[in-house]
A and B are shown apart, each in its own frame.
Chain A
Amino acid sequence: MSTEINTSTTSESSPSVYPVNYTFRIFRGNDNTGEFINYEVAVEEGMVILDAILSIQENQDTELAVRWNCKSGRCGSCGMEINGMPKLACMTRLSDFDPKIPITVTPMKTFPVLKDLVSDVSWNYEVNKTIQPFTPNENSDFVYQQEDIERSREFRKCIECFLCQDVCHVIREHDKKDSFGGPRFFVRSAALHFHPEDTADRSEWLKEGQGGIGHCNITRCCTDVCPEHISITDNAIIPQKEYVVDNYYSIWGWIKKQFNK
């Protein structure tokens, strides 16, 4: 009733005899003009969307642009939208799709399209620069327990696929790129904040700065699409929203601040 399931496409009728022909309806074009082109691919058992796209690239259309590296969900290069849902092409198995229905493949549309399935994600790298880096205590001894780092570790699993940035409606629909950091960077600031040796206070970045965490209305699409299954909203965003409350909206926090001045 509560947790959203990404049934973006799943069909009951996955094939049992291979190879099977699938039709891919792929966006071709750039930020100004484009079109959908249909490609047919003979699919073998176990193939993922990326395999099909690379086979199109090798055998049908060498100009088709796509990003990939690891083919095993570790590098976060191959983010795109498959039947409208942001996904990693290399981790989306074709057996989850009905071969009779064409599969729509589009680039991450929240960012400017460079070509075909490749979008310009450079904005994300700019946001990253605005976050205060890891700031340990000067005489820190770096002795801590596994339990102390489990929280930070979850956030450090992030492979920077930017699928969460793509799906976040604050960027996607409302285009708040100038005043909002996006879920990926709440994950990053949480990774730093919850490092047992970190001492920096990033509340200003979160509230007033590029973070703009107030724009997030915790509607959880970022968590739903994260291929690393990071609980972005519950574990990264909400605790940091509370951290902002500590620093800006809590009576107790306000008193403490006055004393520290």
Chain B
Amino acid sequence: MTLQIYEHDVIIVGAGGAGLSAAISAAEQGVDVGVVCKSLLGKAHTVMAEGGIAASLGNVVQDDDWRSHFLDTMKGGWGLNDPKMAEIHAMESPERVLDLERWGAVFDRTTDGRISQRNFGGHRYTRLAHVGDRTGLELIRTLQDKAVSLGIKVYMEYTITEILKDSTGKKMAGAFGYWRVTGLPVLFRAKKIILATGGSGMAYRVNSSSWEYTGDGPAMALRVGAELVDMAFVQFHPTGMVWPLSVKGTLVTEGVRGEGGVLKNSDGERFMFNYIPDAYVGSIADTEEEANRWAAGDASARPPPELLTRDVVARAILNEVVEGRGSEHGGAYLDIASQRPTEFILRKLPAMYHQFKELAGIDITKEPMEVAPTCHYMMGGIRVDPETQETCISGLYASGEAAGGLHGANRLGGNSLSDLLVFGNRAGIHAGETAQKMKSFPKIPEKHIESAIDHLSFPFNNTSSGEHPFQLRDELQTIMEEYVGIKRDEEGLNKGIKELQKLKSRTSNLVATGSPSYNAGWQTCFDLINLIDVSLAIAYSALERKESRGAHTRIDFPVPSDSLGKIKFIVSLSSDKFNISNVSIPTPRKELLSMIKKDQTKQKSGGKK
């Protein structure tokens, strides 16, 4: 096999929102940038994002500022967020959204001609800048065009399988992978590498992800010695499609609820009123009448319980189904038809209309949708420095969904797109600046390259009696669904870990046939190896976190624990063994701390805002 070698000052793995933001800001530092991605340019997950970008622009509600965005993020994340990251995120996201506008994005407008905003769960103010329900498309297209105009080189349909280090074993030196079209090996030599590979939704059967989401970034980083953080927290989005079977899991944007949609069970009851958690009592409407007033635009009314955070809504739907009040195909009814006029729905949610019309034959302006939780987002990810996004491996960065820390135990809707922009930008700037100062490329020991090349052909060398990659993936999804799903307990997690370890040992017997060119079976072998590593990290962290908090629900420990609320669990790998350690969460700056305290007491007193 002939090895292709490319050289760029900064290599970015991933062409989603995070990757492209990083590429643009790195290129603006005057370095040579290359972007590598598994699909074509513009097809990354970011393109599917619907609802909007959270940024306290204050265009709709003037009172909004970065402080309240910070408070909402911390509260939504059950205090487990890295306070520094949450602060940077809240402060910088408005400016990043304005950047997009300056680069040509056309957001929905307010009547006075500025960027309009919409409501989303957990955000106390109307905060999400949006483009109908195609915000991700607008975001990625704008970034893509900007990147193209800066002359950034994009390597499409390349999969990175390994990060290579220099001979000291401490510094990042390059990225190795293959070109999916031919299956031939490639080596990217770089001074800095930014991992922006997104999440790992494929670990679960019902997910809102594409084949790309196999946790490559976290798994590769783990294998070269970086740490993963908050891995127990997997967000199940409350509203995924349930029927027809072939689209089970496909996302129904939270924007539907943000624009006034309500959840009902088979008795026609708006059941979310029964599930308001203590932390939110007082800030959420407690009668249907008040919720309706809110929807009609009454500023003195509190938002409806449908707009509680995603973890809460997902568990509520699950509970309704378990208690026998589920919809026909095992979900809840999401109804906007009875709440808003047809014309409004068509204007605000055109893609949703399209999606249901064409895939399920349902007209959402007339009928309710059927929805149930779907695996959606990884709060956890690669542990990075809050300001520079560098990992503990020098020269290796991570940002976007692949990185962890910002969202804590639960992510608020809309906080991901802003995360991509803010931290993608920061990673790019820092990597660009430091690469600028480096005179030469780090050296990669020959034998590392050779063994990487060797590794590529292992599925072809196995005999046909080995493991079938798609079957193994199916088994993995069964294990994760059963033992590491929305509700977890010690016994199940232990069992799950055992099963996952068994699965991991079977990966060396994976088999592929034919030529490596565009061979889905062969490619899945490598994706699967990553997926299993990430799944293990999730399971280990979940076992360790003996409490229920945010997206992590332990049946055997149903309430949050004060002491665990002060620490984060870190996963690392040494000689193929998973190690779990913990670090305490840094206390926020004094000013922020007193803000949080004040907010909490205001809540307790039940004051309406």
Given contacts A114-B181, A144-B113, contact A46 B247 (CB under 8 A): yes
* Minimal Cβ-Cβ distance residue in A for B521: A62
Q: What residues make up the interface of B, taking CB atoms closer than 8 Å to A? A: 39-45, 47-48, 101-104, 106, 108-109, 112-114, 131-132, 134, 136-138, 141, 145-146, 148-149, 154, 156, 181, 210-212, 243-247, 250-251, 351, 354-355, 358-360, 468-470, 512-515, 517-522, 524
* Interchain CA distance A46-B44 in the complex, whole Å: 26
Docked Cα-Cα span, A69 to B517, in Å, equals 19
Contact check, A74 vs B103: say whether CB atoms are below 8 A apart: no
Smallest CB–CB gap between A46 and chain B, Å? 2
Bound CA–CA A160/B40 (angstroms): 10
| Chain A neighbourhood of B210, CB < 8 A | 68-71, 75
A152 CB–B CB distance under 8 Å: yes
Which 5 residue pairs of A and B lie closest in terms of their CB atoms, listed nearest first? A46-B244, A62-B521, A134-B104, A65-B518, A133-B149
> Smallest distance from the beta carbon of B195 to chain A beta carbons, Å?
19
* Cβ-defined partner of B469 (8 Å) among A62, A73, A118: A62
Contact B512 A62 (CB under 8 A): yes
Query: In the bound complex, how far is the Cα of B523 from the Cα of A64, in angstroms?
Result: 12
Q: Does A121 contact B (CB under 8 A)?
A: yes
- With a CB–CB cut-off of 8 A, which chain B residues contact A75? 39, 42-43, 47-48, 210
Residue in A115, A121, A134, A157 whose beta carbon sits within 8 Å of that of B517 in the complex = A115
In the assembled complex, the Cα of A156 lies from the Cα of B48 at a distance in Å of: 14
Question: In whole Å, how far is A43's beta carbon from the nearest beta carbon of chain B?
Answer: 9
Known contacts A58-B470, A195-B104; is A64 also within 8 Å of B244 by CB?
no
Taken together as a complex, chains A and B put the C-alpha atoms of A159 and B355 apart, in Å, by 14
Query: With A114-B518, A125-B41, A144-B113 given, can you name 5 additional A-B contacts, CB distance below 8 Å?
Result: A46-B246, A63-B515, A70-B47, A156-B106, A159-B47
Nearest A residue to B248 via CB reads A46
Most chain A CB within 10 A, of B40, B48, B250, is at: B40
Chain A residues numbered 55-98 whose CB sits less than 8 Å from any CB in chain B: 57-59, 62-77, 91, 93
Q: Check A142 for interface membership: any CB of B closer than 8 A.
A: yes
In the complex, A122 Cα to B43 Cα: how many Å? 14
- Residue contact A195 to B520, C-beta cutoff 8 Å: no
Give the CA-CA distance A122 to B42 in the complex, in Å. Answer: 13
In-complex Cβ contact of A67 among B40, B101, B141, B154 (8 A): B40
A76 to B141, CA, bound (A): 13
Q: Are B47 and A47 in contact (CB under 8 A)?
A: no
| In contact, B513 and A144 (Cβ under 8 angstroms) | no
B358 touches A73 (CB 8 A): yes
Q: Determine if B245 and A44 form an interchain contact, defined as CB atoms under 8 angstroms apart.
A: yes
Query: A158 — which chain B residues lie within 8 A by C-beta?
Result: 141
Distance in angstroms between the alpha carbons of A192 and B149 in the assembled complex: 14
B113 close to A145 (CB less than 8 A):
yes
B41 proximity list for chain A (CB < 8 A): 125
Interface mask (A124-153 → B, CB under 8 Å = 1, otherwise 0): 010011000110100000111110010011
Check B102 against A142 for contact (C-beta < 8 Å).
yes
Please state if A143 and B113 are interface contacts (CB–CB under 8 Å): yes
A58 neighbours in B (Cβ, 8 Å): 470
- Is there contact, CB below 8 Å, between B359 and A48? yes
Please tell me which one of the listed residues A67, A128, A143, A157 contacts residue B137 in the complex, with CB atoms under 8 A apart: A157
Residues of chain B lying within 8 A (CB to CB) of residue A198: 104
Interface of A with B (CB < 8 Å)?
Answer: 44-48, 51, 57-59, 62-77, 91, 93, 114-116, 118, 120-122, 125, 128-129, 133-134, 136, 142-146, 149, 152-153, 156-160, 192, 195, 198
The minimal Cβ–Cβ distance linking A112 to chain B, given in whole angstroms, is 11
- Which residue in chain A gives the minimum CB-CB distance to B518? A65
In Å, the complex CA distance between A58 and B515 comes to 17
Return 28 A-B CB contacts under 8 Å, by A number.
A45-B244, A46-B244, A46-B360, A57-B470, A62-B469, A62-B512, A62-B513, A62-B519, A63-B514, A63-B520, A68-B211, A69-B39, A72-B250, A75-B48, A76-B42, A91-B359, A93-B358, A114-B518, A115-B517, A121-B40, A125-B41, A125-B154, A133-B148, A144-B109, A149-B109, A153-B132, A158-B141, A159-B47
Give the docked Cα–Cα distance between A69 and B149 (Å).
25
With contacts A64-B520, A72-B355, A72-B359 taken as known, whether A149 is within 8 angstroms of B514 at the C-beta atoms is no
Task: Give the chain A neighbours of B522 by CB distance below 8 A.
Answer: 62
A69 with B212: CB separation less than 8 A: yes
* C-alpha spacing A152/B40, complex, angstroms: 24
Chain A residues with CB under 8 Å of B48's CB are 69-70, 72, 74-75
Contact partner, A146, options B109, B149, B519, B520, Cβ 8 Å:
B109
Q: A69-B43, A157-B134, A159-B137 are in contact. Are A62 and B109 (CB under 8 A)?
A: no
Taking CB atoms, residues of chain B closer than 8 Å to A128 are 145, 148
A192–B44 alpha-carbon span in the complex (Å): 23
CA distance A134 to B246 in the complex (A): 39
CB-CB under 8 A from A133, the residues of chain B are 104, 145-146, 148-149
Residues in A neighbouring B114, C-beta threshold 8 A: 142-143
Chain B residues lying within 8 Å of A160, measured Cβ to Cβ, are: 40, 42
Q: Which residues in B have their C-beta under 8 angstroms from that of A72?
A: 48, 247, 250-251, 355, 359
CB distance from A142 to the nearest CB of B (A): 5
Is A77 within 8 A of B148, CB to CB? no
Smallest CB–CB gap between A138 and chain B, Å?
Answer: 11
